[in-house]
Amino acid sequence: ALLPDGHSPGGRPGRVRPLYRRPGGREPNLAPGLPELLGARYGTPVTAEAVLAWVLAAARPSPAGPFVPLPADRAL
């Protein structure tokens, strides 16, 4: 996999957090049980890629750090 070299467009290197903990994509780098919890809440399987897509689309800054809302309605 290609990883950033520490040079970011903003001038400060950021943290790199891979989507999967190990090569092969078997262990998502998410809180344990999060995909299962979200899948039960929304009534459909939730993948690590779907969580990443939502985080990228919905995250917004807050004083405590990035905030990612989790809507009650799966249609959102």
Tell me: the pLDDT tens digits for 33-65? 999 999 999 999 999 999 999 999 999 999 988
Please indicate whether residue 61 or residue 75 has the higher confidence score (pLDDT).
61
Tell me: the pLDDT tens digits for 5-17? 656 555 556 667 8
24 belongs to a structural domain: yes
**Structural domain for 28, as ranges:** 14-53
61 belongs to a structural domain: no
The first and second tokens of residue 46, run together, are 């939730």
Say how many domains are in the chain: 1
Q: Are 63 and 76 in contact (CB under 8 A)?
A: no
1 belongs to a structural domain: no
58 belongs to a structural domain: no
3 belongs to a structural domain: no
8 belongs to a structural domain: no
Lowest pLDDT segment from 14-18, 21-25, 29-33, 53-57: 14-18
30 belongs to a structural domain: yes
The full 3-state SS of the chain, as one line of letters, equals: CCCCCCCCCCCCCCCCCCCECCCCCCCECCCCCHHHHHHHHHCCCCCHHHHHHHHHHHCECCCCCCECCCCCCCCC
